[in-house]
Amino acid sequence: MKLEDLKKIRENASREIELRQKQARIKIVVGMGTSGIAAGAREVLKTFLDEIATHNLTDVMVTQTGEKGLASHEPMIEVHEEGKEVVVYGNIDPAKAKRIIAEHIINHNPVSEYMIEVK
Amino acid sequence: MMDDICAHITDIVANSISAGAKKISVSIEMSKSRNILSLKITDNGKGMDKETAAKVIDPFYSTKTGRKVGLGIPLLKGTAETCGGGFALNSNEGTGTEIEAFFLLDHPDLPPLGKLKDTILISSVSNPEVNFSFDIKTDDRNFLFDTEEINKILDGLPINDPEVMKFFTKYLDENLEFI
């Protein structure tokens, strides 16, 4: 497999997809400071990426940030959605990440059990 | 605390991102013939003055007085020194930071390398505004993953597009088999 193969993906992508992604409807921010990484934030981030790819969620993007300052709740993530309050989830693992994708991101029902803050 | 070498890499990269870096280069060399694993991470972030650079290496520099960088740097230094290697940090305010660490490849305390493919994917895709280059070398093989080159091919299609991510997963699997 060569990098050149990416050209096909580029050619097949419609302008519409490109535009949608540029104005991502939802942004998931994963805390990737030292304590987050030690608590398993990498696996959580990877799960979000895998789920986005599997469900072809072109309007959701994942980004990372440094220390969140609440080491006891790592891995922590935030869900930013346009026009809504930011939801902070704590003690996330890959199984919980999958549930957040299914319930919060796809079905618009935040998972109250994992929430530690709404701001 | 850090399970593998890739955890250290992810952590140092997170520091670079916090420092506002727009270009981060990671090079990893595993040389069996020289019995060395070496790691170099260079960024063009805001850098540090001498005093701050000395503080971030010190694990006892208080976290309560506004330590903005995690314990990642002293942890990496500790791992390198435990594994018969060494550590160096060079930083210039305004131009960026360079961190180098090396380890003896056959040292019994050397942590496993970890999931290099995931590390490359996670960094590149979750920081689309940053240009990454990952340069992976062994005694006889070499692989370069450069998002500047990739973004040229993508020509406006985001690097975190689902189809692009699927491509990377397969592409990295195939091209990093030698590690």
Domain holding B155: CATH number?
A: 3.30.565.10
Number of domains forming the structure of chain B: 1
Closest chain A residue by Cα to residue B76: A34
**Residue recorded with tokens 């406006």:** B156
Touching check for A70 and chain B: CB below 8 Å?
A: no
CA atoms of B98 and B40, how far apart (whole Å): 7
A37 closest CB neighbour out of B7, B149, B164 = B7
- Does CATH number 3.40.30.10 belong to domain A24-118? yes
CA atoms of B163 and B174, how far apart (whole Å): 17
pTM here?
0.92
DSSP 8-state symbol, A106: I
For the segment A8-57, what is each residue's pLDDT rounded down to a tens digit? 998 888 766 666 656 788 999 999 988 899 999 999 999 999 999 999 99
For the segment B102-148, what is each residue's pLDDT rounded down to a tens digit? 999 999 999 999 999 999 999 999 999 999 999 999 999 999 999 99
Q: Which of residues 94-133 of B touch A (CB under 8 A)?
A: 115, 118-119, 121-122, 125-128
For the segment B10-35, what is each residue's pLDDT rounded down to a tens digit? 999 999 999 999 999 999 999 999 99
Enumerate residues 6+ apart whose C-beta is below 8 A from A48: A28, A30, A62, A77, A97, A101
